[in-house]
Structure 1
Amino acid sequence: MNKPSRIIDPAILTKFGNLSFIAKTVVEGFISGLHHSIHKGSSVEFAEHREYVRGDDPRYLDWKLYGRTDRLYVREFREETNLKAYIILDISNSMNYTSQPQFITKFRYAQCLAGCLGYLMMKQNDATGLVVFDSDVKKFIKPSSTKAHFHFLVDNLENIKPGKDTNIGEILHKIANHIRRRSLIILISDLFDEQDSAMRGLTHFKYKHHEIIVFHVIDRGEMEFPFDGFRDFVDMETDERISVDATTIRAAYQKIFKEFLSFYQKGCSEMGVNYARAITQTPFDYFLYQFLEMRSQTK
């Protein structure tokens, strides 16, 4: 896989084209020479029965069929190289945050990241769907791998707006119940919600044998808390307002936020979920290149 030849500031890139243009510009910068899919492996599904011959693995004997026919048959399987993928995009109002006017919001970064992933998977003939949620599921688009479907996804992505508050855990349970076939699940969210509940939602996907990737979208200002003096802070989902001396609470805030990030990173690692922190000031192509390089080394 080629390292990106041109690293473009996301705030600049998003000013000069629609989402389809952004996705193509980002992905084409490093896709040449990409020989591994974004998903780690393949799945297998039942193909047919054939009569047992000496040397066949007895694990694949179909004993139920033997009970009906009194003859030994083995089950044969075929490998599926292209799994279905679902991009699950959080559009709750906390995603509409940026710490500086020259930066793009977490929502816009996530929106563009979803478009880039859709384009990348289309190029690899992986069927991709889209689920959009805030306090409820707003869109559920089934996977397909056609070029027309990619443009359909992009049109939907372009037209969504940040929504209300959210309940990530409950929403993930609802989506997991709806996706029956083993798939690649890509969650793009700031994960600003009750942490244990969100992790239980991810566990539901794991229980159903889905492969899971979490892109944790964060503004650098949320980690650094670059504010001084008395400031008014407003909860973007509840409109609750507090006035505090930012200088005096900075150290405590940074400690709590570090623990918040560590909770998800550690929890995902223990569950076997791929976790990657997507800082909104990081160029899209560099972030995806780094992530795919990491994925290729852990296969």
Structure 2
Amino acid sequence: MSLLTPESLQSIQRLDLRARMVVRGFLQGLHSSPFQGFSVQFSEHRRYNRGDDPRLIDWLVYAKTDKYYTKRFEAETNLTGYLVMDLSKSMGFTESGSMTKFEYCTCLAASLTYLMTMQQDPVGLISFDEKMRALLPARSRRGHLGDVMAALTRLKPTGRTDLPASLTQLAAMLKQHSLVMLFSDLLPSDTETGSPEDVISGLARLRHGGNDVIVFHVMDEAEVNFPYDGPVQFEDAESGAMVTVDATGFREDYLKQLDEFREAYRAGCHKLHVDYVPLDTSMPFDKALTEYLLGRQQRL
């Protein structure tokens, strides 16, 4: 079993230790990947583009990767990041008995905080349900990592959610260009205001403000694979409504609707140049971090 799977981290109670283990394992993996030689310094380079000064090409990086990268000046490397956590009650769901969706998102967010702190990038924390809630300003000072970890540990998924309204509020609140990392199952509490189109509209406001955005769409493994047969009773996590269905006959329609749901977000995010990362709670954390790194490299 990979050391970076949710199951392998279950026995580690402290969030900061989980994050440290994930990031260290991830960075060790970079040594045998196409990103060899970058480690935590990958933010100090960007791909060479036609028109760039050839004198800025880093030939040591070229020797390792066979690709052209130019050195970036210190003023270009600083990136302010905000973790945006969904506190809706549906995020507390788990069918496998492993991590809930919220625990998975929290561990991933903590790992990204650890990684960005290593790069001396300021990181802030925002949570939302029906509106924006906790706010921890973005800082890079010593000790801020512990503040973010403590704040993440205190968050609980207990409410309803209005993601489009929260994104609109966030777009108005951010005064400088930032990297917004959204962690959510994207499931609406209100189908009238929480459609993919409504959420994409909120993401568009963030992009219009000059922000980079990564959407980590995290679902439970059972929500993705639907491993049910026969009559099954389901409960809506937020409304408490109960419904009984023939899971065997319903599976094909469910999986089709799920694919359409994800595709709506994938296509909408692509048009906005927003990184869309679909994950489920069985996936190793290095996969999510790799997607983050790929998206970040494309933006540099």
> Is the shorter-chain TM-score for this pair beyond 0.5, marking a shared fold?
yes
More strand by share: 1
Contact 1:6/1:29, CA 8 A, preserved across alignment: no
**Contact persistence 2:40–2:115 (CA under 8 A):** no
Structure having the higher helix fraction is 2
Is residue 2:186 matched to residue 1:180? no
Query: Which residue does 1:81 correspond to in 2?
Result: 77
Gaps (5+ residues) in structure 2?
A: 29-38, 48-73, 189-193
Structure 1 residue 121 corresponds to structure 2 residue 116: yes
Q: Alpha-carbon deviations, 1:31-89, whole Å to 9, x = none?
A: 36233239989xxxxxxxxxxxxxxxxxxxxxxxxxxxxxxxxxxxx944202111101
Q: Give 3-state SS (helix, strand or coil) of 2:282's partner.
A: coil
1:151 equivalent to 2:146? Answer yes
The 1-side partners of 2:134 and 2:84 are apart by 10
Residue by residue over 1:212-267, the C-alpha shift from the partner in whole angstroms, topping out at 9 and shown as x without a partner, is: 11111112211221111111111101111111111111100110011001110111
Query: What secondary structure does 1:282 align onto?
Result: coil
Deviation at 1:297, TM superposition (A): 5.7
Distance in structure 2 (CA, Å) of the matches to 1:7 and 1:265: 29
* Residue 15 (structure 1) aligned to one of 4, 11, 18: 11
Q: How far did 1:138 drift?
A: 2.0
For 2:27, what is the secondary structure of its paired residue? coil
Aligned residues of 1:189 and 1:215 also touching (Cα < 8 A): yes
Query: CA distance change for structure 1 residues 40 and 223 in 2, over 3 Å: closer, same or farther?
Result: farther
Q: Tell me what 2:20 maps to.
A: 24
Counterpart Cα distance in 1 of 2:147 and 2:178: 20
Structure-2 residue corresponding to 1:199: 200
**Which consecutive unaligned segments of at least 5 residues does structure 1 have?**
42-77
Q: Percent identity?
A: 34
Alpha-carbon shift at residue 17 of structure 1 (Å): 3.2
Amino acid at match of 1:37: S
Question: CA RMSD, aligned part only?
Answer: 2.2
Q: Separation in 1 of the partners of 2:292 and 2:209? A: 24
Matched pairs, number:
258
Return closer, same or farther for 1:272/1:290 CA change in 2, 3 Å cut-off: closer
State yes or no: 1:217 paired with 2:210: no
Distance 1:121 1:217, change over 3 A: same
Contact 2:23 2:111 in 1 (8 A): yes
SS state of the match for residue 29, structure 1?
helix
